Amino acid sequence: MSKVDPNKPIIQVALDILETDRAIQIAKESLEGGADWLEAGTPLIKSEGMDVIRKLREAFPDKTIIADMKITDTGAMEVEMGAKAGADIIVVLASADDSTILESVRAARKYGVKIMADLISANEPVFRSMEVEKLGVDYINVHAGIDQQMEGHDSLSIMKEVVRKVNIPVAIAGGLDAASCAEAVSAGADIVIVGGNIVRSSNVTASAKTIRGSVDSPSTVRSMKVSKDEEIRAILETVSTSNISDAMHRKGAMQDIFPMREGKKMVGTAVTVQTFKGDWAKAVEAIDEAKEGDVIVIYNGSRHVAPWGGLATLSCLNKGVAGVVIDGAVRDIDEIRKIGLPVFATCHVPNAGEPKGFGEINSEIVCGNQTVNPGDYIVGDDSGVVVIPKERAYEISRRAKEVEKTEQRLFEEIRRGATLSEVMKLKKWEKH
């Protein structure tokens, strides 16, 4: 059942979901899209226990089921549990002690199941893959964990080395999408393990089909190399400020800053301006400093005199500035709305201040009660504005994308008729 045909790579869908009934539904939809193997993900097993394996076995009697138990100790006992619950393949951490791996392999032989060794966080993963092969494991998984992926790790380069060193089937996991699956298969992966990009999709079947297509015809998939900044901006264009706030554990949102025109998304890197009540010189000079794709972020601190209006907004638009955020007032709101550049501010008033020239451009400021440094990523939409420190922009943008994917799936379940409290299993997950 769990054989690997070298000419037909396997798609293993990782059911990293917390509830059995949702996991079974998503498993069905993935299989309809062309997935081959079903993995009970580690969070699913932790949430539901080994019973989830029994339920998956009952629902899918002929399918290969993997229990991603990430065994670190008591190998024999845990493999026995997985096998008796109905798993075909049980995952052991490659970084576990040799004695645990040996015991897992022995128990697997006794109960007629296979062992997959997961190289996640293993020291010297290529060398360890050869060692665990010798210890008798049946498959190797070269894996960048979800937290590691958020910081930019990927498993492809290590996988390319591992496939040259071992003779057992090699799986790859870690944020795979259609493009990276195609690349992995072309580089020799026998099994691609895909979680988020299938199970958190609003159309699981279509997403599994896309992966199937890329795995079966990898040469037709084009992947584009882009810079980190381009990647961050591209992700931030697709997520909301609410997704980002969730990803930052409710940090980063500016207080009392509102869109002056709704329906305008803004993504860019900060040019900061510290000014004083109504003094608009530095705010306007910052337009000359700003580059295309920057957001000018101004602390002005007055609700009664505006350091910004229609002329400055048009000047920004001409320079390709992505938007403006002002802790303070703006004026000419009708012109600003017509020009269409995203402008976020505390309020609007008719009074202009004076261009006195106090303050600074590109120093650390506080705007909307959030610290902003030059180069931080600023995102605005109808919900408000969030600041992402530049050092964590790659990680946070990717985490926000995961939040967005999870919400897409929840929206789909609500569209199908469930209530929010049902899809969230609120009662079950209330804090005790």
In the complex, the residues that contact ligand 5RP under the rule CB under 6 A are 14, 16, 41-42, 68, 145-146, 149, 173-176, 193-197
The residue type of 277 is: K
**What is the distance between the alpha carbons of residues 302 and 329, in angstroms, rounded to a whole number?**
6
What's the min distance (Å) between Cβ of 128 and ligand 5RP? 17
Q: Which is nearer to ligand 5RP, 39 or 294 (CB)?
A: 39
Query: Measured from the CB of residue 176, what is the shortest distance to ligand 5RP in angstroms?
Result: 5
Question: In this complex, which beta carbon is closest to ligand 5RP, that of residue 9 or of residue 195?
Answer: 195
Shortest spacing between CB 196 and ligand 5RP, in angstroms: 3
Question: Rounded to the nearest whole angstrom, what is the least distance from the CB of residue 273 to ligand 5RP in the complex?
Answer: 40
Residue 332 phi, psi dihedral angles, 5° rounding: 55, 45
**Looking at beta carbons only, is 205 or 269 nearer to ligand 5RP?**
205
Tell me which residue has its CB nearest to ligand 5RP.
195
Query: Is 145 or 375 the residue whose CB approaches ligand 5RP more closely?
Result: 145
Give 391: exposed, middle or buried? Use CB within 10 Å, 0-12, 13-18, 19+. exposed
- Minimum distance between the CB of residue 40 and ligand 5RP, rounded to whole angstroms? 10
Q: Which of 332, 265, 318, 266 has its CA nearest to residue 290?
A: 318
Backbone angles phi, psi at 247, to 5 degrees: -65, -25
- What's the closest the beta carbon of residue 84 comes to ligand 5RP, in angstroms? 22
Residue 407 C-beta: closest distance to ligand 5RP, Å: 15
Nearer to ligand 5RP, 196 or 342 (CB): 196
Strand partners, 379: 267, 386
Q: Minimum distance between the CB of residue 145 and ligand 5RP, rounded to whole angstroms?
A: 5
Decide: 377 and 268 in contact? Cβ < 8 Å.
yes
Task: Compare residues 30 and 197 and give the one whose CB is closer to ligand 5RP.
Answer: 197
| Min dist. Cβ of residue 402 to ligand 5RP (A) | 8
Q: Which residue number, 151 or 422, has a Cβ lying nearer to ligand 5RP?
A: 151
Q: How far is the CB of 135 from ligand 5RP (least distance, A)?
A: 21
Separation of alpha carbons 254 and 265, rounded Å: 15
41 vs 86, beta carbon nearer ligand 5RP = 41
Nearest approach in angstroms of CB 341 to ligand 5RP is 37
Q: Which is nearer to ligand 5RP, 146 or 343 (CB)?
A: 146
Task: Please provide the distance, in angstroms rounded to a whole number, between the alpha carbons at the two ends of the chain.
Answer: 42
Half-sphere exposure of 415 (CA within 13 A, CB side): 8
Nearer to ligand 5RP by Cβ, of 195 and 380: the residue is 195
Q: Which is nearer to ligand 5RP, 175 or 218 (CB)?
A: 175
